[in-house]
Amino acid sequence: MSENTYAGVLPILALRGLVVFPDQTIHFDVGRPKSVMALEEAMKKDQTLLLIPQKDLLVDDPKLADLYPIGTVGKIKQVLKSQGDNLRVLVTGLCRARITEIQQSEPYLSGMVESIAEEAEGDSLRSHALRREANTLYNSYLELTEHPAQLIQMKMLASESDGFLADSIAQNSGIEFPGKIKLLSQLNPTKRLELAIKLLRQESEMLRLESDIQEKTRATLDQNQRDYFLREQMKVIRDELGEDDEESEFDTYIQSIRSLKLEEDSEKKLLKDVDRLKKQPFGSSEGAVLRNYLDTVLELPWNKRTKERVDVEAGRKILDHDHFGMEKVKERILETLAVRQMAPDMPPQILCLVGPPGVGKTSISYSIAKSLNRKLARISLGGVRDEADIRGHRKTYVGAMPGRIITALIQAGSFNPVLLLDEIDKMGMDQRGDPAAALLEVLDAEQNHAYRDHYLEIPVDLSDVMFITTANSLDTVPRPLLDRMEVIELGSYTDEEKLMIAKNHLFPKQLAKHGLKKSQLKITDDAIREMIYCYTRESGVRNLERSFAEICRKADMQILSQETPKKITVTGKNLEEFLGVRKYLPDRLPCTDQVGLVTGLAWTSVGGETLEVEVNVMDGSGKLELTGNLGDVMKESAHAAMSYIRANAAKLGVPTDFYKTKDIHVHFPEGAVPKDGPSAGVTVCTALVSALTGATVRRDVAMTGEISIRGRVMQIGGLREKTMAALRHGITTVIIPKDNLRDLEEIDQTVRKQLNFVTAETVDAVLSVALNPKTELDPSIRIPEDVKTPACGLRQ
């Protein structure tokens, strides 16, 4: 303990963030003008002054109230000139002292100072133990700081003063400023030593923690990323202190998740992922995966729904404006809207629009979305083979992303959109799974209220989504998937419908696209019909629209030429100048009735077609040859016809041994085109009977129907398209199975008026109409009396 005492007037030097203790030597810089003048005044006298800390470091001109009550009288040992006007001072503390009176505050601070007597030290066993503990603890502290101080250690070990030991620890350690003020103010040496030990122990713990932080961050420290090091230090400090001070990014995630008002389990999972993200080191790959996941989840339009407009009359106007014809289809769609209007809480029906290419399946879906005031997102399923395309990939995979359903919801920006699943019949499957099976949950109204995408891993409610699927054929659609949808069939357009669509929709659309006006380009109805008959053979109007585009392009070229008039008219006569040579020749009937030549009717993906069957009978050994690129079903139909003819040879007027003495060749022209299906059975049978009996077949008659070996004519499909093909071909009479009588209601009125329909239940009825009356057949062949004539020009 210092035995120095003092009383008198001294210059006062206010210290900022610094404390000087008795019997301790320290150097510091002096820069404030008042402090420099106080220092100079002390040097002029006995080189003593009062060193007293100030309370607020920001106060530049402290008064008595700004100073702590206790300071230290110091002896100046050395003064050196430093940078600028600053001075480097070396002082030694003499004793604790207080200010009793301020003498002056200008040009420097001075006042009456008196020393403070400390309490007497005891020489108890406790004091001895405290000194040993202090020395040991200070040695450990120096090891942590890696700053050797042998001279100080030697003085402390040699001292038996509790006060000197406490002041030495305070002056030569990193104890914080408030702690040093407490030590300076404590006049009891033993208590001061206890406080010094406590504060030094806290400082040692802090140093160990800093060392641990550095050890943890040193392994991943990059010399070029100082900010990374700082973030790691802050993170470990928060973990050790138990503080919950999230960065703004994490706060944003948490607030966004809670604002969604999700189910408890979903919200808990997302918040858990945010906690995992906070623990990830900066720049880690898992952190990037979690950020992408959270961004994707928050991007979903969880609580966004468009206000649905369910108005049948408004829907009718939109459908009529956007699409010509298709009355049955429009009526069925309006019925769906009516159900929505009457029962708004009922889950939307899942519609499947089936029809050949180009008939407006996709465009009518857009019209449905417009009439309901719902947003629409299109998902193309053509060529999809991976189940993960529908349900998403697990986050564990590199480049994982949500499935197409979730992506479509994000694209639509609404939780009640119309989702168009286009070309659902074109999906495949391989070793990666079956996407059609993944759609079973999506399209099931009983399950899709809690649809789980593999990427999201939380339930998503799809019950408000209206699904519309499109397909060209239902043959490749799995039955469980088809069972979940309501099928609406879109048939081929008739030629008259194509004419009206071309005039009202396609031609004006192409005029606008090519910068033309109606006054500059005119296309006559005859030219449009020529385009339909001779340049396009399709069920829809896509190729017809391309033909209009080609005409418009050539019209642009001619209008820009100075040698031609500014108005162009396209007629049937000059159509070849714009579209080139006709791609298809008009179908023509044979000039005369012929033996073994029969016109059948077939359905293809582009609509109905006529199908000629030719039969030649030659002397031989009973061989039957079938040519024309036929499928197995069509070959079986030919064999069934042969079986019927052999069993009824006498009745038909056919030699009973023809299958032994004659070779028969059945040929279907256009051999490059694959053909299959059972509906050509009656056509083959009629051609065989004609060739074997020599009876001619009426050239104005076409037929369709499956045949059995007992001579029954059975139901077929695609009657609407087949009858259109018959009308184009110039046919006047069409023979159909009796079971297809009800399908006549679906046939276009124009076609029904121009064709005569004959229903047949047996082959006998077909032969009686198709073969010319002069043919001598068995009198037992006649049309059954139960064949009735419907009111559409049907004849027996």
Count, residues in the chain? 796
Q: Rounded to whole angstroms, how far apart are CA atoms 228 and 282?
A: 7
Tell whether the torsion through CA atoms of 56, 60, 64 and 70 is positive or negative. positive
Catalytic annotation present for 722: yes
Give every CB contact of residue 288 below 8 A, 6+ residues apart in sequence: none
Give every CB contact of residue 43 below 8 A, 6+ residues apart in sequence: 76, 79
Q: Minimal CA–CA distance to 93: which of 194, 176, 175, 184?
A: 184
- Reduced to 3 states, what is the DSSP secondary structure of residue 485? coil
Q: Rounded to whole angstroms, how far apart are CA atoms 384 and 363?
A: 22
560 is written with which tokens? 């820009």
CA angle 376, 379, 384 (to 5 degrees): 175
- Reduced to 3 states, what is the DSSP secondary structure of residue 8? strand
778 is written with which tokens? 């068995």
Question: Which run of H or of E encompasses 380?
Answer: strand 376-380
List the alpha helices (DSSP H) in 71-149: 125-145
Contact 734, 702 (CB under 8 A): yes
3-class secondary structure per residue, 721-752: HHHHHHHHHCCCEEEEEHHHHHHHHHCCHHHH
Q: Which of 367, 722, 738, 768 is catalytic?
A: 722
CA angle 767, 771, 774 (to 5 degrees): 125
DSSP 664: E
Q: Rounded to whole angstroms, how far apart are CA atoms 685 and 613?
A: 10
Q: Rounded to whole angstroms, how far apart are CA atoms 704 and 594?
A: 19
CA angle 98, 103, 108 (to 5 degrees): 95
Scored b (16 or more CB within 10 A) or e, 464-473 reads: bbbbbbbbbe
Q: Which of 547, 679, 690, 768 is catalytic?
A: 679
3-class secondary structure per residue, 605-617: CCEEEEEEEEEEE
Which residues are registered as beta bridge partners of 737?
760
DSSP 201: H
527: amino acid identity, one letter: A
Catalytic annotation present for 679: yes
Q: Rounded to whole angstroms, how far apart are CA atoms 458 and 393?
A: 14
Neighbours of 407 (CB within 10 A): 18
- Reduced to 3 states, what is the DSSP secondary structure of residue 27? strand
Catalytic residue ranges: 679, 722
